[in-house]
């Protein structure tokens, strides 16, 4: 395989209760790292209101899938709970390659994307994003 391959880098998924927040955060990441990182977002509930959806999270994981793994960044507790449920629903061989990052969604996603674009491992991507956690 020659040339840049986005799937050679860890993927990033952004899960927000607001589709606008998720889309805007993804736009920031994309502007920072281009197409070097598989990136997907989801936000809002199926009725168009605030919330998150397990099927939408599973779809986002598929869209950002990389054999190197996928880091998920979330905004609120419900997004975290639904992301954990989505991870549990993945095929067993994928479950261990998807990690939640305990980090601020915007700053964490930008830092995770930047780290992923450098070819870092999934654990390195998570650690970099989580360095932004308040003490």
Q: Mark whether 16 is an active-site residue.
A: no
pLDDT, residue 4, reads 45
Rounded mean pLDDT of the chain? 93
Contact 79, 16 (CB under 8 A): yes
Core vs surface per residue 83-118: b (16+ CB within 10 A) or e:
bbebbeebeeebeebbbbbebbbbebbbbbbbbbbe
What is the helix (H) or strand (E) element at residue 17, kind and residue range?
Answer: none
Q: Give the N- to C-terminal CA distance of the chain in Å, as an integer.
A: 43
Which one of the listed residues 17, 68, 97, 126 is annotated catalytic?
Answer: 17
Residue 2, pLDDT score = 32
Provide block-wise average pLDDT over 10 residues at a time, the chain (135 residues). Answer: 58 97 97 96 93 97 98 95 98 96 96 97 97 72
Q: Which of 14, 18, 44, 11 is nearest to 27 (CA)?
A: 14
CATH code of domain 6-130: 3.40.50.510
pTM, two decimals, is 0.92
Reported as a single tens digit per residue, the pLDDT across 1-39 is 233 444 689 999 999 999 999 999 999 999 999 999 999
- Do 39 and 12 form a contact (C-beta atoms < 8 A)? yes
Name the token pair of 25. Answer: 């955060």
Phi first, then psi: what are they for 70, rounded to 5°? -135, 130
């Amino acid at each position: 395989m020659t040339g840049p391959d986005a799937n050679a880098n860890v993927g990033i998924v952004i899960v927000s209760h607001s589709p606008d927040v998720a889309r805007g955060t993804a736009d920031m990441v994309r502007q920072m790292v281009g197409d070097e990182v598989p990136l997907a977002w989801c936000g809002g509930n199926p009725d168009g209101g605030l919330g998150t959806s397990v099927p939408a999270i599973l779809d986002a994981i598929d869209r950002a899938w990389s054999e190197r793994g996928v880091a998920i960044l979330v905004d609120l507790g419900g997004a975290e709970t639904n992301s954990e449920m989505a991870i549990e629903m993945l095929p067993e061989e994928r479950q261990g390659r998807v990690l939640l990052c305990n980090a601020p969604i915007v700053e964490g996603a930008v830092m995770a994307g930047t780290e992923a674009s450098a070819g870092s491992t999934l654990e390195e991507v998570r650690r970099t994003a989580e360095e932004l956690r308040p003490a």
